[in-house]
Structure 1
């Protein structure tokens, strides 16, 4: 968990403002949910490995004897926990407030989440997520809207050239069925396949054999990995060329329709890449899954997928849902030198004898004109003051004396 100095905080808020503005422009509405959810909801088997990283909150009023008695049962010790993502809270929010929401609900959530990560570069125990979700639309239009809006965000931030890797959990399941993996071993097989980028095809095959997966199925999968393969185009022929025979037509048709819709929305060839080995580890995904990539980095800048089964757990009936999460912390790190917001910002450096009434009158007049103004008494080391002001995001300064007026201010750049 981190502190942020003024310049860092200002930069983060500028990036958040761009994300919020672009998502709102695409018809999404912002909501807010509590930072805590019920322990049972956070540990309902929907959050994958993130459930193991959840911060739990001790039940109130437990004495030492009660704590000792419940020490072996986390559910008996805690009844609440800090949210580890924004999707589980959204599902609960929708189930609670459905009567007041439109049939197709487009939500924005931009808020901190908490995970008990082992601290390391790029991994934090508190970080901001920026999510958009569409609830109530089962068609590929929902995925297309999410992708188009998120690509628009990257463009608005100056990160043109983003590409979305796309797959479908139904494709993965059908592939494993074609290869011959039994249903009960598929979750473990997918965990290993998800390591393909890290340990390579030979490493994946070796780990599958170590896991004791069906030998014939591993052989079939190894042969599939060894076939000649290029980068498949995102159309019917390209997607089918990247898959073994036997994948249901309706799944391929769904992906093709998605590519056509995104291309129509963007007015150019859709920046989508079909990746039959994209897994994404969250247990609640039921259909399309995707990750946002950018040529400047070798890690994803966001991702998401369809989770049609989650809301039904709270509501008692299935509701289609799909979401996309922008990797805010990673994007902010890429924009270390992002330009300021364009606001007029000014430091008024005044002598000791300037009346307070003069200073506040000047400041009020400049603020009324839309400027951001800071008052600073002239120190012995003016250069250090100006350097600090520049680091805090100010762009100009002016000297103030007893007879200075708004009209007579000589405004100079800090750089």
Structure 2
């Protein structure tokens, strides 16, 4: 959890403003939810490993004896918790307000979330997520809209070289079954496959064997990972997808992924599938337990971790509403993204410092400031110090562009502004 100095805060807000503007341009409406949710909702088995990282709030009114008695039962100790993502709150929000929302609801949430992480580069205990979700549309149009809006946002931020890795949980399930893994084994196998980028093919095979997974399935999967592969370039499409999967991949899933790429390509400048920054990755897992279909992540060559991701989670809202509602989302990891975005230009409005003497009457000084503010400028008042140079350097670092010295009787039109750099 971090503090941000004024210059850092201003830069973050400029980047957030671009994200908000692009999301809004694509037809998404911003909502806000509380920072806390019910403990039972946060620990309903749909948040994956993030449930283990939730910050829980102690029930009010528990005395020492009650705390000792409930020491082994977290649910008895806590009735609320800080949200660990924005998807669980959105599902609860939609279930609560469905009658007030359109049949297909396009939501934006930009807000902090909390996880009891081990802090490291790119991982914090409090961080901002920028989510867009479409609820009520079970077609591939929803995924295409989300990916298009996200790529457009990355373009607006000037983040060159980013790609979207895409997979489908249905393809993953089919692939594991084709190798011979049982349904009971699949959750553990997926956890291991998710480490492929870190421990490599041999590490994955070794860990699966250590887990006691079906030996013949481990051997078949290992042979698939070690199969000879040519390095020719294949643009996103049916050829790339089928080449990356074992033979006999389900036609409906392949067709869904191909159609999704074609739709995204049509919306991109040039409109050609070969130029769209999509890559099919058969081993993309996404750790959240609620994904049911298409999944995706943002990759960038400058960092080894993803800059965001998401997917389809058709089963989640039904848990709260009592009936199935299709839903799909895409989240930008703001803290990771903002470090890669070139510094945005400051506001076009002038930002000026008025350096005044100690004995200038307060009313006269504030009237002068108000007049300059009314002219469209951002204004800071500073009493003249002994070291004027240090004051001006600090002001320049804070984003101010010019200054003027103020004496008694000064008027806004008569001020002489000098550049700070």
Which TM class, normalised by the smaller chain length? over 0.9
Displacement, 1:205?
A: 0.9
**Counterpart selection for 1:247 from 246, 249, 253:** 249
Displacement, 1:255?
A: 0.3
2:272 equivalent to 1:261: no
What CA distance in whole angstroms lies between the structure 2 residues aligned with 1:401 and 1:160? Answer: 50
What CA distance in whole angstroms lies between the structure 2 residues aligned with 1:410 and 1:257? Answer: 62
Q: Which residue of 2 aligns with 1:209?
A: 209
- Stretches of structure 1 lacking an aligned partner (at least 5 in a row): none
User: Is the CA contact 2:308–2:331 (under 8 Å) kept in the aligned structure 1?
Assistant: yes
Displacement, 1:337?
A: 3.5
The CA deviation string for residues 275-321 of structure 1, in whole angstroms up to 9 with x for no partner, is 11111100000000000112332321111000000000000111000
Q: Which residue of 1 aligns with 2:155?
A: 155
Displacement, 1:236?
A: 1.3
Displacement, 1:336?
A: 6.5
What CA distance in whole angstroms lies between the structure 1 residues aligned with 2:365 and 2:37? Answer: 49
Displacement, 1:51?
A: 0.3
Q: What is the DSSP-based 3-state SS (H/G/I as helix, E as strand, rest coil) of the residue aligned with 2:184?
A: helix
TM-score normalised according to structure 1 size: 0.97
Deviates more, 1:222-231 or 1:240-249: 222-231
User: Is the CA contact 1:232–1:274 (under 8 Å) kept in the aligned structure 2?
Assistant: no
1:344 and 1:228, CA in 2 relative to 1: closer, same or farther beyond 3 A? farther
Q: Which residue of 1 aligns with 2:98?
A: 98
Displacement, 1:228?
A: 2.9
User: Is the CA contact 1:232–1:241 (under 8 Å) kept in the aligned structure 2?
Assistant: no
1:369 and 1:295, CA in 2 relative to 1: closer, same or farther beyond 3 A? farther
Q: Which residue of 2 aligns with 1:372?
A: 378
What CA distance in whole angstroms lies between the structure 2 residues aligned with 1:233 and 1:178? Answer: 26
2:323 equivalent to 1:323: no
TM-score normalised according to structure 2 size: 0.96
What CA distance in whole angstroms lies between the structure 1 residues aligned with 2:326 and 2:276? Answer: 24
Q: Which residue of 2 aligns with 1:15?
A: 15
User: Is the CA contact 1:233–1:239 (under 8 Å) kept in the aligned structure 2?
Assistant: no
**CA RMSD of the aligned region, Å?**
1.3
What CA distance in whole angstroms lies between the structure 2 residues aligned with 1:219 and 1:339? Answer: 55
User: Is the CA contact 1:119–1:125 (under 8 Å) kept in the aligned structure 2?
Assistant: yes
2:350 equivalent to 1:344: yes
User: Is the CA contact 2:194–2:283 (under 8 Å) kept in the aligned structure 1?
Assistant: yes
- Stretches of structure 2 lacking an aligned partner (at least 5 in a row): none
User: Is the CA contact 1:130–1:326 (under 8 Å) kept in the aligned structure 2?
Assistant: yes
What CA distance in whole angstroms lies between the structure 2 residues aligned with 1:146 and 1:342? Answer: 31
Displacement, 1:119?
A: 1.9
Deviates more, 1:24-33 or 1:393-402: 393-402
**Counterpart selection for 1:310 from 298, 316, 319:** 316
Deviates more, 1:208-217 or 1:265-274: 265-274
